[in-house]
Structure 1
């Protein structure tokens, strides 16, 4: 039995009905759980002797609003966690979808894996995902007073404000964006013998 199959069997046995979806692809397993079960599943993944995922390697947000050319129907925001079991030499991708698109929220796992702290702050800052129970949920990459969440698919490429140094006021000032949006069309080469291909 392969290592992936062994892990898959262990996950199904230990988690049971909490497994919404379990997919093996390209030698990796992705486990999807419901938001209501997320915290309990995370604790079980860390503590169950059959699993022992001691380390959270990465946590990020995903905006599915334009996934599949707009044909995607389901929750918009997802939290993706990458876990490592040093004991068993296993890796696992854990996904949980936020049930409310208007206020995306899932429980924080920073008390289970303290490495989640800044990753959750980053997902909050860039996607607007709220991690309930996080002790210091504030922006980490954008400026103070920044409006919006820049990794959301509906955030404008040019942003909402721009900053410049004002010599008269002798300080940096913020003002509405003055850049005109433009569409960039890629250059297409239509020569028959381009690059030596016949």
Structure 2
């Protein structure tokens, strides 16, 4: 007897053909890896093909693979990972697409395929620096307008580059270089003479 996930994997292979690099699956989920060149047409096929029927994009997230596998990974650095839901067929799919250029990661936008991708793509742009070509309003969504850098990239410093504070003399918020002093934290150990019934 064929499971639903096996049926989905077979439908994906039949509907998408060689536009998919790899179809992998666990008992409850299927993941496909798509080349950036075919990303938009695959997205439209996933939504429009009745045997697939992924009407809803549940999530889209950027990923930085630069430290993946503790340095053993040797592939493209930035990816977008989409989680799709087919309400009509009652199954889910994970779609992964890598940006071909690590220095300027660009992927096509899928806002016109799934409108819920709008803010998710803005978030991936803001936090990872992934540019989504033809996005209708690609601008920062979580960091402020003067923010420099992409805070979810693995090479972004934990402390950031600048800090913000209110200056009472100037009566406004100002930015300045980070002033966090490095410090050594020594754990404080409290000994209890009769802990656990033991005598010291």
Aligned residues: 191
Which 10-residue stretch deviates more, 174-183 or 150-159? 174-183
Matched, 1:80 2:81: yes
Residue in 1 that maps onto 2:61: 60
Write the mapping of 1:134-173 to structure 2, written as runs, cut at 5 A: 134-173=135-174
Tell me how far apart the structure 1 counterparts of residues 100 and 187 of structure 2 sit (CA, whole Å): 38
Residue in 1 that maps onto 2:121: 120
Tell me how far apart the structure 1 counterparts of residues 133 and 172 of structure 2 sit (CA, whole Å): 37
Shift of 1:71: 1.1
Tell me how far apart the structure 2 counterparts of residues 54 and 25 of structure 1 sit (CA, whole Å): 22
Provide closer, same or farther for how the CA distance between residues 181 and 125 of structure 1 changes in structure 2, counting only shifts above 3 A.
farther
SS of 2:69's equivalent in the other structure is coil
SS of 2:139's equivalent in the other structure is coil
Tell me how far apart the structure 1 counterparts of residues 188 and 94 of structure 2 sit (CA, whole Å): 38
Deviation track 1:83-126 (CA, whole Å, cap 9, x = no partner) reads 00011001000000000000001000000000000000000000
SS of 1:100's equivalent in the other structure is coil
Tell me how far apart the structure 2 counterparts of residues 14 and 70 of structure 1 sit (CA, whole Å): 35
Deviation track 1:64-98 (CA, whole Å, cap 9, x = no partner) reads 00001111100000000000001100100000000
Tell me how far apart the structure 2 counterparts of residues 58 and 95 of structure 1 sit (CA, whole Å): 12
Tell me how far apart the structure 1 counterparts of residues 93 and 186 of structure 2 sit (CA, whole Å): 40
Residue in 2 that maps onto 1:40: 41
Runs of 5+ unmatched residues, structure 1? 189-193
Shift of 1:185: 8.3
- TM (normalized to structure 1)? 0.91
Residue in 1 that maps onto 2:13: 12
Deviation track 1:21-74 (CA, whole Å, cap 9, x = no partner) reads 111125211110000000000000000111010000000000000001111100
Matched, 1:99 2:100: yes
Provide closer, same or farther for how the CA distance between residues 103 and 183 of structure 1 changes in structure 2, counting only shifts above 3 A.
farther
SS of 1:163's equivalent in the other structure is strand
Residue in 1 that maps onto 2:31: 30
Tell me how far apart the structure 2 counterparts of residues 179 and 35 of structure 1 sit (CA, whole Å): 41
Is the 1:158–1:181 contact (alpha carbons within 8 Å) kept by the matching residues of 2?
no
Please identify runs of 4+ aligned residues in structure 1 that moved more than 2 A.
Answer: 180-188
Tell me how far apart the structure 2 counterparts of residues 11 and 108 of structure 1 sit (CA, whole Å): 21
Look at both structures and tell me which one has the larger radius of gyration over its CA atoms: 2
